[in-house]
Structures are given as C-alpha cells and as structure tokens.
Structure 1
C-alpha cells in the first residue's frame, strides 16, 4: 500500500492517447500495458505514509495548462512526457528538483519509442491516492487548483 499525489488527465485526453497507442499495443503485445483508468501524472510519492496534510497549500496554485508529448523509457517503463507550466505546482508540493512529470503507460521489454503530441488541457485538481496491489487506486482527497487570474 502506498500513497501519492497525482493529476489525472480528463477523459478526452485519455481517449486521445489510448487511440494513438492502439497500433503500438498491437505491435508489442508482450508489454504489460497500464489500464487507461490508472493513467496519471505523479506529483509526489509519499510511500507508506498515513494520509495527513499532503495536499496543503496546493489550492493556491494556478491550474497549469498541460500537454502530453513524446515518450521516454526508464528501466523497463515506457512513459509519455508532460509539457506545461508545472514549476509552481512542483514548488508548492515540495517535489525534488529533478522531478520529470510523466504518465506511465507500459512495462516490460523491449520498449518502443512513441511519437505523440496531444491536445492541451488544464489540470484543475490534484488528488491524494492510495494504491493497493489488489484493490487498485482509492482517491482519498482532492484539492482544486486555482483558475482565477487574481
């Protein structure tokens, strides 16, 4: 069981990426493909911590405009990159300076390269998620990101 904060892309963004990955999924059936309902951008990983005030202060962060773009690999993980103004969110969430926002889509080997540029979208909230191996994800808390220009 682990705890993390995350941004879940909206359904139309998930659908767009899912459709773009279909030919790649067919060409690489041995990879373990993450179900689209689990696709998220991890903001901060807390490990085995108990839920507390992990999202404190994030409600003052301006909702960033994001775009899924490109891909990369790390060990046996295939991920899709995330472009956008995430510096304010990263600072408020106290993420390490080497944080590279991404969305994991598959695990295994060999990993393909994915050319993808998705539509822009606004991240309107950060959620606190508990992950359990059998039960899956449970959203424990939600914090809306500021959409005001004040």
Structure 2
C-alpha cells in the first residue's frame, strides 16, 4: 500500500482526453493503457506513510484553473502535461522543486507523441489516495480548495 495526494480531472475533461487518445490506442495496442478512472495529477507521493495530517493546510490554497496540454515520456511512461498556476498548491503540499504535473496515460516500450490541448477546468479539491496492487485506488480523504477571491 502506498499513499499519494492527487487532483482528479472532472468527467468532461477525462472524456475529452479519452476521445483524443482513441486513435493512439488503436495504433499502439501493445501499450498498457491506464483506465481513465485512474487518471490523476499526483501532487505528492508519500509512500508507505500514515495518512494522518497529509492534507493539512491545503484548504487555504486557491483552486487553480488548469488545462491538459501536450505530452511527454520518461521511463517508459507516456504522460499528458498540465498547464496552470500550480505554484501555490506545490508550496503548500511541500512538493519537490522538480515537480512536473502530469497525467500518466500509458506505459510501454515504444511511446507516441500526442498533440493535445484540452478544455480548462478548475481543480476544486485535493484527494488523499491509497494505492494497493490488489484493490486499486481508494480515496481516503478530500480537501476542498478555496474558491473565494478574498
């Protein structure tokens, strides 16, 4: 079991990306394509840590307006990038300075380049997620991000 905090894109954003990747799934059937229900932006990975207090202070972070855009690869992973003002969230969550927000969509040896620009969406909450190989993802907690302009 491992823990991480994450932003989950809304259903319409997931659907838009799913549709855009359809020709790639046909052209690259040997890739291990992640199920859209698992698509998320990892904010911080905690490993085997206890969940208590992992999302403290995030309720004061302003909900950022984000957009999925472009793609990249590393370590046999195909990802879709995330554009938007994530600095405040990164600081509050104590993420490493080299944090590159992304959504992992596939894994494999030969990875395509995907030109994609999605619609804007507002990340309204951060979820604390437990990942278990046998059970999948379980959301343990959710913290709403601030939508006030004060």
Normalised to the residue count of structure 2, the TM-score between the two structures is 1.00
The number of equivalent residue pairs is 150
SS in 2 for 1:110: coil
Q: Distance in 1 between matches of 2:21 and 2:109?
A: 16
Q: Which residue is 1:98 aligned to? A: 98
Q: Distance in 1 between matches of 2:88 and 2:40?
A: 19
2:123 is aligned with 1:113: no
**Which blocks of at least 5 consecutive residues in structure 1 are unaligned?**
none
Q: Distance in 1 between matches of 2:134 and 2:19?
A: 27
Q: Which residue is 1:136 aligned to? A: 136
Query: Where do residues 1-150 of structure 1 align in structure 2 (5 Å cutoff)?
Result: 1-150=1-150
Q: What's the CA shift for 1:5?
A: 0.1
Q: CA RMSD in A?
A: 0.3
Q: What's the CA shift for 1:47?
A: 0.2
Q: Distance in 2 between matches of 1:130 and 1:50?
A: 10
Q: What's the CA shift for 1:50?
A: 1.1
SS in 2 for 1:128: strand
Q: Distance in 1 between matches of 2:118 and 2:54?
A: 29
Q: Distance in 2 between matches of 1:112 and 1:92?
A: 34
Q: What's the CA shift for 1:123?
A: 0.1
**Which blocks of at least 5 consecutive residues in structure 2 are unaligned?**
none
Q: Distance in 1 between matches of 2:93 and 2:49?
A: 15
Normalised to the residue count of structure 1, the TM-score between the two structures is 1.00
